[in-house]
Structure formats: C-alpha cells, structure tokens
Structure 1
C-alpha cells in the first residue's frame, strides 16, 4: 500500500506581478534580471509585456523585497498570494 503525505507550510506562496514598468524600462529590466537570473534582453521583454509575473511561488518576505526593488526604480508592482489548491480545503 502506498502512503501519501501533505506537507503544510505556514507561509502561502506569493507571486510578484509587474503591472507598469514606468518611464525607466531599462532600470526595471536590470532589477528583473537580478531577481530572476534571466538575460538582460529577456528581462526587458518581460518588463514590457505587462502585467507580467516576475516571481512565482516565493515566500512573502522575498516577494515584498522584490516589489520594493521594482518600486525603487519607478515600476508599479504588487504581491499576490497564490490560492490554496482544492485538495487542501476541507
């Protein structure tokens, strides 16, 4: 018989969404590059195709730090909590 376990974490995963790059798109692309590890070209493409999910499933503290870094260069960004999967809801 196979047993399955559900690991429960206190912190719900969060996403970082870029909603507006603002006037300094290259600066935003450099921050996106630093956060994601993407090339500068791909980061610029991602920064210009808004709304864009920059980070997916990170801790709340990391998501808030990423949003702060994006806002420091003039972008509009937000943190969104991921919904709980259906199998977790009782």
Structure 2
C-alpha cells in the first residue's frame, strides 16, 4: 500500500518550458510570454531577446505542452524539457 501511495505522489515529473529562438516576430512572442508569466511587456521582451530562456519552471506536462504550443503559434522555437530527477521530495 505504501508503494502505491509513493508512486501516486511522485508520478508527475516537473517540466520546464524553454524558449530556444524567438523568430522574426519578437513582439508577438513577448506578448505570449507576458500572457504565460504575468510579467510586464518590457520584462517579457527582455527575456525573449536574451534567449535561450526558461519561460516556465517546474510545471506539469499538460501546462508545459500548452505553453510551448502558444509560443510556437506566436512564431518562436520552444521546447518542453523534463527537469532532472532529484528524488520525490527534491532530495
């Protein structure tokens, strides 16, 4: 029983959304980053132009895939990366 609980708690591996290249439509990508992160437009543009940059850190797989799809729709090259395993509780 304890093994089943452990698997349920630790089953979801956190993911990062990484902006690899903003592409030619930097302002559109900055607006997408603004919607995803809640940053100001100026801070979003700075983050986009200083790529590659982690846009979202430690989010579930579904959220990461949706965010990467939104960035790609804006014209950027974005990818989802699994965070390295450090154990269930970050140890």
Report TM bin, short chain.
0.7 to 0.9
Query: Counterparts of 1:59 and 1:81 in 2: how far apart (Å)?
Result: 10
Report the count of equivalent residues. 83
- Which runs of no fewer than 5 residues in structure 1 stay unpaired? 1-5
Residue 18 of structure 1: aligned partner: 19
- Deviation of 1:9 (Å): 2.5
CA pair 84-27 structure 1, distance change in 2 beyond 3 A? same
Query: Counterparts of 1:61 and 1:86 in 2: how far apart (Å)?
Result: 21
Give the superposed CA RMSD.
1.8
TM-score w.r.t. structure 2 length? 0.85
Structure 1 residue 57 and structure 2 residue 62: aligned? no
- Deviation of 1:87 (Å): 7.7
Residue 3 of structure 1: aligned partner: none
Give 1 or 2: higher helix fraction: 2
TM-score w.r.t. structure 1 length? 0.86
